Structure 1
Amino acid sequence: MLVEWITSGLTACPPAARRLGYHREAAAIAARGRRRARDWAPHLEYSRRQVAEAAERFGRGGTLLVLGSGPLLDLPLAALLPRFERLILADIAHGPSARWRAWRDPRITLDRVDLTGLVDSVVDGRPLKPGCDAHVGTALDLVISLNLASQLPLTARGLVAAQDGEAVADRLAADIVRAHLDHLARLAAPCLILADVERRWRDGQGGVQSVEDPLFGQALPGKRLATWSWDVAPPGEISRDTGFDTTVAAHLLLPPHHS
């Protein structure tokens, strides 16, 4: 807990996002990754492999944009840096690991950006309209949505569910996912999308209690490249009798007239 508390304090995060606890969430993800290193290893290896293969195909010395870079657990920087002149790591919170890598390598730029477009509106009590225009119009060799599409709705959905109910929250979550996929299309570059496409809640004996759609009815665009399982939080991580795992899919979205 002390390491997690220190990590959250060292996480760079916009003031509005800090009020909503995004710095604590970022630290918690990094801490869970350390605790569940053995359980997460296959998922991280699959993710890194998909990213490295996309970089090998599309990396031509230009710019790579990573949306949802997080603590860099699933980002093979050693395979990416030789292929791109510039790496933009975009997330709402950047922890010590990302800040350290950016400080050491001037080719890495950290962009603190709200990829939902909702954080200021939530804090200010304004109507919620998802959407993000970050880096639209930027010349990009490759975009990676890194285990992000299914994570983006979680905070806003939880806040809205507590106030307005599950049905309203689910509609907002679907709008958030849809807006993110629209953002990817408007970036007009080859895009590798990694995202959960099914979430299974399990009891202490491993039996399935319920199954959820993490994309709230939205379909990932482009060509499916691979799927794999991710044991995110086995029973004992969240509570003694509850855990969950997911199915992750990798999709490649190409802009028109791009081979």
Structure 2
Amino acid sequence: MLREWIASRLTLCPSAARRLGYHRESAAITARARRQSAAWASHLANSHRVVSQAAQRFGRGGTLLVLGSGSLLDLPLDTLAPRFSRIILADIAHGPEARWRAGRDAKITLDLVDLTGTVADIVAGRPLKPHCDAYADVAPDLVLSLNLASQLPLAARGLVAAQEGETAADALAADIVRAHLDHVARLATPCLILADVERRWLDGQGRVLSVEDPLFGLALPGEPLATWPWMVAPAGEITRDRGFETTVAAHLMLPRPRP
């Protein structure tokens, strides 16, 4: 717990996002990855594989834009670095590992960005209008949306569920996912999307208790490349007798041909 607390204190995070606990969540994910290293190993290997394949195909010495870089767990930076002259790591929180890597490599830039467009409005109590126009002028060789689409709605959805109920919360969550997919499409460059497409809650014997749609009725665009299971939290990690796993999908979205 002390190590996790120190990591949260060292995490770069905008003040509005810090008020919502994004710095603590970033540190908690890293801590869970350490505790569940065996359960996460195949997921991380699969993520590294599909990201490396996309970099081999599209890395031409220009810019790599990583949306949802997080703790760099899913990102094979040592493989990617030789293929790009600039790597932009974009997230709402950057923990110690990302700060350390950026400090050692001049080609890596850390950007603090709210990819939902809702965080400041949540804190200010304003109506929520999901949007993101970041990086329209970057022209990257490759964009990665890295295990992000299903995570973006969580904070806003929880708030709205408590205030307005599940139906309104699910509608907002779908709007946030849709806004993200629209955002990466507008960037008009090859984009590899990794995202949870199904979430399953399990009992202590691994039997499925319930199934959730983490994309709230939306489908990932582009060509499906691979899917795999990810045991995120075995029983005992979150609660004593329940755990959850997801199905992760990798899709490659190519820019639409210009008329």
* Fold-level similarity (TM above 0.5): yes
2:12 alignment partner, SS class: coil
- Listed as ranges, the matches of 1:44-55 within 5 Å are 44-55=44-55
1:162-209 Cα shifts (integer Å, max 9, x gaps): 111111110000000000000000011100000000000001111100
Q: What CA distance in whole angstroms lies between the structure 2 residues aligned with 1:245 and 1:79? A: 28
Structure 1 equivalent of residue 201 of structure 2: 201
Structure 1 equivalent of residue 252 of structure 2: 252
Q: What CA distance in whole angstroms lies between the structure 1 residues aligned with 2:2 and 2:164? A: 35
- Listed as ranges, the matches of 1:71-150 within 5 Å are 71-150=71-150
Q: Report the count of equivalent residues.
A: 258
Structure 2 equivalent of residue 227 of structure 1: 227
Q: What CA distance in whole angstroms lies between the structure 2 residues aligned with 1:56 and 1:29? A: 28
Structure 2 equivalent of residue 182 of structure 1: 182
In the TM superposition, residue 137 of structure 1 has moved relative to its aligned partner by 2.5
Runs of 4+ in 1 over 6 A off after TM superposition: none
1:21-74 Cα shifts (integer Å, max 9, x gaps): 000000000000010000000000000000000000000000000000000011
In the TM superposition, residue 136 of structure 1 has moved relative to its aligned partner by 1.2
1:63-87 Cα shifts (integer Å, max 9, x gaps): 0000000000110001100000000
Q: What CA distance in whole angstroms lies between the structure 2 residues aligned with 1:212 and 1:51? A: 26
2:69 corresponds to which letter in structure 1?
S
1:4 alignment partner, SS class: helix
- Listed as ranges, the matches of 1:206-217 within 5 Å are 206-217=206-217
For structure 2, which runs of at least 5 residues remain unmatched after alignment? none
Are 1:158 and 2:148 counterparts? no
Structure 2 equivalent of residue 242 of structure 1: 242
1:53 alignment partner, SS class: helix
In the TM superposition, residue 160 of structure 1 has moved relative to its aligned partner by 1.2
Q: What CA distance in whole angstroms lies between the structure 2 residues aligned with 1:73 and 1:102? A: 15
2:231 corresponds to which letter in structure 1?
D
TM-score computed with the length of structure 2 as normaliser = 0.99
Q: What CA distance in whole angstroms lies between the structure 1 residues aligned with 2:257 and 2:63? A: 20
RMSD value, Cα: 0.8
Choose 154-163 or 47-56, whichever is displaced more.
Answer: 154-163
In the TM superposition, residue 155 of structure 1 has moved relative to its aligned partner by 1.1
1:171 corresponds to which letter in structure 2?
A
Q: What CA distance in whole angstroms lies between the structure 1 residues aligned with 2:247 and 2:139? A: 32
Q: What CA distance in whole angstroms lies between the structure 2 residues aligned with 1:250 and 1:137? A: 26
Structure 1 equivalent of residue 61 of structure 2: 61
For structure 1, which runs of at least 5 residues remain unmatched after alignment? none
Q: What CA distance in whole angstroms lies between the structure 1 residues aligned with 2:46 and 2:176? A: 26
1:121-140 Cα shifts (integer Å, max 9, x gaps): 00001110001111012111
2:254 corresponds to which letter in structure 1?
L
